[in-house]
């Protein structure tokens, strides 16, 4: 939803909730800044009145679709009035037990490194004011030692998050891991997913006419939004998540054998189906993997040596050479 429209709807909702008596279209037109700026404070030319009436009816329908209960009342002057009674638009009391409060607290901690930290903290404060258990009670659970973090260092995260929310196409420069130069991508963004500490964007690549997954750390320059509607249907969230996991290597289809320096690569050890001590400070691991393991192994640098399969070893070597040249 565009910011201007969202602000207009918010002001209309507040006006209808704040009044003690039904307000006519004429009164609402003169009370809400967006209507005044677009059509003037009172009646004017017929065309302007018609445009206002159409916008008002759309806004009223949008608010009702969002869940606001708007009553229509015939007032004493013969005009139709509108209001939204607070008792009809009030949520029931919010209650959480200690485990639910702990889960919310952990979820809020996830965003401490992102600009969402302020919103998460504010939400917790409001919930505590509504009666949610305090932190010392909520976190006194078997999970109290957990300190979850989802790193958000990429500048592309926030504009892409907003584009996913508002369903706006985007354009950005994207450099593949083994490419010397970035390429321009025109994408209809679906959702952002975090996998193994890295953020990925899933969406529809317009030029390739297919769904694609992009790692945010490989987006260079600014993400620019574009006007217009999506041209491809947006799949449900679970389908998109499966796409990201498959692309990033969560779904195992093959097995790799690697040498790993002793005391290093604990995430790799956690996925290994077998570990054998080779001596001299090295272990041999067998790891089931899917697409994307080569990019992950490169992150461990000289602590990992790929033994087989040969194509995985070649991909890792190519990536390391590209890094060395860069």
Q: Are 258 and 307 in contact (CB under 8 A)?
A: yes
**Residue 38 confidence (pLDDT):** 84
The stretch 86-101 carries a mean pLDDT of 79
Nearest of 237, 240, 238, 214 to residue 295 by alpha carbon: 214
The 10s digit of each residue's pLDDT in 238-270 is 566 677 767 665 566 789 999 999 988 888 888
- Residues of the chain with pLDDT > 90: what percent? 31
Q: Domain 157-244 falls in which CATH fold?
A: SH3 type barrels. (2.30.30)
What kind of fold does domain 3-88 have according to CATH? Arc Repressor Mutant, subunit A (1.10.10)
pLDDT, residue 207, reads 92
Structure confidence at residue 1 as a pLDDT band (50, 70, 90): very low
C-alpha distances (whole Å) from 37 to each of 11, 34, 42, 248 are 14, 5, 11, 50
Judged on CB neighbours under 10 Å (0-12, 13-18, 19+), 145 is: exposed
Quick one: which H or E segment has residue 203? strand 198-205
């Amino acid at each position: 939803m565009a910011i201007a429209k969202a602000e207009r709807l918010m002001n209309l909702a507040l006006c209808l909730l704040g009044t003690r008596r039904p307000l006519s279209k004429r009164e609402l037109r003169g009370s809400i800044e967006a209507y005044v700026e677009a059509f003037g404070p009172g009646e004017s030319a017929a065309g302007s009145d018609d445009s206002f009436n159409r916008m008002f009816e759309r806004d009223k329908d949008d608010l009702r679709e969002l869940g606001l209960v708007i009553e229509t009342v015939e007032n004493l002057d013969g005009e139709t009035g509108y209001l939204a009674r607070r008792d009809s638009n009030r949520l029931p009391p919010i209650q959480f037990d200690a485990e639910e409060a702990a889960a919310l607290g952990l979820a809020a901690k996830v965003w401490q490194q992102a600009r969402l930290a302020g919103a998460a903290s504010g939400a917790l404060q409001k919930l505590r004011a509504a009666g949610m258990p305090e932190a010392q009670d909520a976190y006194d659970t078997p999970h109290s030692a957990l300190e979850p973090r989802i790193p958000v260092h990429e500048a592309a995260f926030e504009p892409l998050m907003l584009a996913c929310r508002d369903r706006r196409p985007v354009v950005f420069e994207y450099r593949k891991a083994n490419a010397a130069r970035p390429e321009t991508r025109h994408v209809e963004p679906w959702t952002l997913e975090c996998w193994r500490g890295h953020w990925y964007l899933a969406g529809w690549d317009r030029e390739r006419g297919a769904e694609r997954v992009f790692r945010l750390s490989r987006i260079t320059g600014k993400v620019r939004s574009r006007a217009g509607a999506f041209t491809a249907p947006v799949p449900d969230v679970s389908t998109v998540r499966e796409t990201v996991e498959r692309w990033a290597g969560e779904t195992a289809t093959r097995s790799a054998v690697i040498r790993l320096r002793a005391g290093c690569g604990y995430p790799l050890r956690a996925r290994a189906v077998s570990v054998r001590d080779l001596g001299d400070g090295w272990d041999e691991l067998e790891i089931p993997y899917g697409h994307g393991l080569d990019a992950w192994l490169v992150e461990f640098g000289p602590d990992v040596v790929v033994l087989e399969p040969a194509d995985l070893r070649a991909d890792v070597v190519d990536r390391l050479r590209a890094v060395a040249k860069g």
